Chain A
Amino acid sequence: DAGVIQSPRHEVTEMGQEVTLRCKPISGHNSLFWYRQTMMRGLELLIYFNNNVPIDDSGMPEDRFSAKMPNASFSTLKIQPSEPRDSAVYFCASSLAGGLYEQYFGPGTRLTVT
Chain B
Amino acid sequence: AQTVTQSQPEMSVQEAETVTLSCTYDTSESDYYLFWYKQPPSRQMILVIRQEAYKQQNATENRFSVNFQKAAKSFSLKISDSQLGDAAMYFCAQRAAGNKLTFGGGTRVLVKP
Residues of A within 8 Å of B42, CB to CB, are: 107
Residues of B within 8 A of A95 (CB): 99
A-side interface mostly: strand
B50 engages A102 (CB within 8 Å): yes
Q: Report yes or no: A99 in contact with B96, Cβ–Cβ below 8 A.
A: yes
Known A42-B103, A43-B103; judge A102-B47 contact (CB<8 A): yes
**Number of residues on chain B facing chain A (CB within 8 A):** 24
Whether the pair B50, A50 counts as a contact (CB closer than 8 A) is no
Residues of B5-55 at the interface with A, using a CB-CB cut-off of 8 Å, are 31-33, 35, 42-47, 50, 52
Are the C-beta atoms of B43 and A99 separated by less than 8 Å? no
Interface of B is mostly: loop
Q: In the bound complex, do residue A99 and residue B105 qualify as a contact, i.e. CB atoms below 8 Å apart? A: no
Alpha-carbon distance between A55 and B100 when the two chains are bound, in angstroms: 10
A42 touches B106 (CB 8 A): yes
**Do A33 and B99 contact each other (CB < 8 Å), given the known contacts A89-B43, A99-B32, A100-B33?**
yes
Interface positions of A (Cβ within 8 A of B): 31, 33, 42-43, 45, 48, 50, 55-56, 89, 91, 93, 95, 97-100, 102-103, 105, 107-108
